[in-house]
Amino acid sequence: MGGAERSVRQSVSIPTGIAKRVRTLAKSRKTSANRVLVDLIEAGLQSKEAEKEHFFSLVNRLTEDSVTNLPPILREHLFDRVAERQIPAGDLYKLKLWRESEPEAPDGSWYKDFGSFKICGEGEFPKTFLLKGQAARGKSL
C-alpha cells in the first residue's frame, strides 16, 4: 500500500432518491454503494476543477488584449474578483469590447457598469472594480 491514500470514515445523509440511484449503480457495477459514492465524488471534484480551468482559460483569452494595458495591481484585482465571485465571462467580454472602443474618460471620477461588476476610475486611469450592488461614485459612462 505504498502510494494508497488513507481512508477516513465519514457519515453523510443523502436524500432517499439519490440513495436509491447509488444502490442501483452499485448493483449494476457489482460493487459497494460506498465505492460508487467515492467514484461520484471524485468525478464531481475533477469536473469542478476542469470547469475552473476552462473558465480561467476563457477569461485569459477574452481579456488578454483588453487588460494587458491595465496597471498590474488592477489586473490582479480583476482576476481576484473573477476567482472569488465568478464574474461571468460575458461581462468580461463586455469589458473587452468597451476597452477596444477606446472610450474617452472624463476628468474626475467615473464608472462603467458591466452587469456583475463596475470598473471605476479617475481621469484616464481605472482604479478599482466593484461588484453588483456596490455603490460607485462619479459620472456613469
- The reported pLDDT for the residue numbered 21 is 93
Residue 8 counted as domain residue: no
Say if residue 49's pLDDT is above 70: yes
Residue 83 counted as domain residue: yes
Q: How much of the chain exceeds pLDDT 90, in percent?
A: 17
> Considering Cα of 67, then 68, then 69, then 74, what sign does the dihedral take?
positive
Residue 4 counted as domain residue: no
Would you give the DSSP letter of residue 138? S
Beta pairing partners, 128: 120
Residue-range definition of the domain harbouring residue 83: 16-140
Q: In the structure grid, which three cell numbers stand for residue 112, read together? A: 462603467
Residue 129 counted as domain residue: yes
Residue 10 counted as domain residue: no
Mean pLDDT value across the chain: 80
Report the alpha-carbon distance of residue 61 to residue 82 in Å, rounded.
14
Residue 99 counted as domain residue: yes
Instruction: Name the pLDDT band for 32 (thresholds 50, 70, 90).
Output: very high
Domain count, the chain: 1
Residue 32 counted as domain residue: yes
Identify the three-state secondary structure at position 70.
Answer: coil
Identify the three-state secondary structure at position 15.
Answer: coil
Instruction: Name the pLDDT band for 86 (thresholds 50, 70, 90).
Output: low
